[in-house]
Structure 1
Amino acid sequence: MQGKAASAPHQEAVTRHRTPVMPAALRRFGRRLLHLLAVLVIVSIATFLMLELLPGNLAGSFLHENASAAEVAAIETELGLDKPLAERFLAWAGSALRGNLGQSPVSGESISAAIAERLPVTLQLLLYAQLLSLVIALPLGIIAGYREGSTLDRVISGGALGSLAMPHFVWGILLILLLSIWLDWLPATGYVPFLESPLGNLTSLFLPALTLAMVEAPVYLRLLRSDIASTLQEDYIIVARAKGLSDRQILLRHALRPSSFTLITLMGINIGNLIGGSVIVESLFALPGVGRFLVEGVIRRDFFTVQGVVLVIAVTFVLVNLMVDLAYNLLDPRLSHDSTH
Structure 2
Amino acid sequence: MHVIAKKSARLVLVMFIVTTATYFLLQLLPGDPARTVVGAEGTAEQYEQVRRELGLDKPILERYVNWLGSLARGDLGNSLVPPTLNVSEMIQTRLPVTIELAVLAILIALVLAIPVALASAYRAGGSFDRIASTIAFALISLPSFVLAIFLVFLLVFYPQLVQPVVVGALVCVVGWLARRTTRISREYPPGNKRTRYLAGGLGGAAGVALVALVLSVAWPDFPRQGFARISDAGIVANLNSLFLPALALALTEAAVLMKVLYGDLTQTLKEDFVLSAKAKGMPAPRVLFRDALRPSSFSLITVAGVALGRLLGGTVIIETIFNLPGMGSMLVQAILGKDYPVVLGGVLVLALGYVALNAVVDISYTYLDPRLRRGRV
TM-score band, normalised by the shorter chain? 0.7 to 0.9
Match of 1:274 among 307, 311, 328: 311
CA deviation profile, 1:226-261 (whole Å, cap 9, x unmatched): 111122122332233344433222222222122222
Aligned to 1:222: 259
Paired letter, 1:153: D
SS in 2 for 1:172: helix
Q: How does 1:228-239 map to 2 (within 5 A)?
A: 228-239=265-276
Residues 102 and 312, structure 2, Cα contact 8 Å, conserved in 1: yes
The answer to whether 1:45 aligns with 2:82 is: no
Residue 10 (structure 1) aligns with: none
Between the aligned partners of 2:31 and 2:330, the Cα distance in structure 1 is: 24
Q: Which residue of 2 aligns with 1:191?
A: 227
Q: Which moved more, 1:248-257 or 1:267-276?
A: 267-276
Structure 2 unaligned runs (5+)? Answer: 160-219
The structure 2 residue matched to 1:129, chosen from 70, 86, 105, is 105
In structure 1, give the amino acid aligned to 2:293.
L
**Residue 203 of structure 1 is aligned with which of 240, 249, 254?**
240
Structure 2-normalised TM-score? 0.76
The answer to which of 105-114 and 237-246 deviates more is 237-246
Cα distance between partner residues in 2 of 1:326 and 1:290: 27
Secondary structure of 2:315 counterpart: helix
Question: CA separation in 2, counterparts of 1:62 and 1:150?
Answer: 63
Quickly say closer, same or farther: Cα 1:102–1:259, change in 2 above 3 A: same
Q: Is the 8 A contact 2:317 2:328 kept in 1?
A: yes
- CA root-mean-square deviation: 2.4
Distance in 1 (CA, whole Å) between partners of 2:103 and 2:278 is 37
- Cα offsets for 1:121-158 (capped at 9, x unmatched): 11111110010010111111111122211111110010
What are the superposed Cα offsets for residues 91-148 of structure 1, whole Å, 9 maximum, x if unpaired?
2123224332111111211111111111111111111001001011111111112221
User: Could you tell me whether the CA contact under 8 Å between 2:305 and 2:361 is conserved in 1?
Assistant: yes
1:1-341 to 2 correspondences below 5 Å? 26-55=1-30, 59=34, 62-63=37-38, 70-107=45-82, 108-183=84-159, 185-196=221-232, 197-271=234-308, 273-329=310-366, 332=368, 334=370, 338=374
Instruction: Give distance in 2, aligned partners of 1:31 and 1:87.
Output: 31
Q: Normalising to structure 1: TM-score of the pair? A: 0.83
Residues 51 and 58 in structure 1, CA contact (< 8 A), matched pair in contact too: no
Q: Is the 8 A contact 2:36 2:80 kept in 1?
A: no
Offset of residue 90 of structure 1:
2.8
Structure 2 residue identity aligned to 1:178: L
Q: Taking structure 1 as reference, are residues 89 and 198 closer, same or farther at Cα in structure 2, changes over 3 Å only? A: same
Partner-residue secondary structure (3-state), 2:228 = coil
SS at match of 1:270: helix
Residue 129 of structure 1 aligns to a residue in which SS?
Answer: helix
What is the distance in 1 between the residues matched to 2:36 and 2:223?
A: 38
Contact 1:191 1:288 in 2 (8 A): yes
Cα distance 1:180–1:118, how it changes in 2: closer, same or farther (>3 A)? same
Distance 1:65 1:285, change over 3 A: closer
CA displacement at 1:40 relative to structure 2: 1.1
Query: CA offset at residue 337 of structure 1?
Result: 5.3
Give yes or no for contact 1:44–1:93 (8 Å, CA) kept in 2: no
Tell me the distance in 2 between the aligned counterparts of 1:240 and 1:94: 62
Q: Which runs of 5+ in 1 are unaligned?
A: 1-25
> 1:18 corresponds to which residue?
none
Q: Is the 8 A contact 1:168 1:277 kept in 2?
A: no
Aligned residue for 2:164?
none
Separation in 2 of the partners of 1:155 and 1:102? 53
Q: Is the 1:50–1:307 contact (alpha carbons within 8 Å) kept by the matching residues of 2?
A: no
Range with greater deviation from structure 2 (238-247 or 258-267)? 238-247
Residues 296-305 or 197-206, more deviating: 296-305
Tell me the distance in 1 between the aligned counterparts of 2:294 and 2:65: 46
Q: Post-superposition shift, 1:221?
A: 0.9
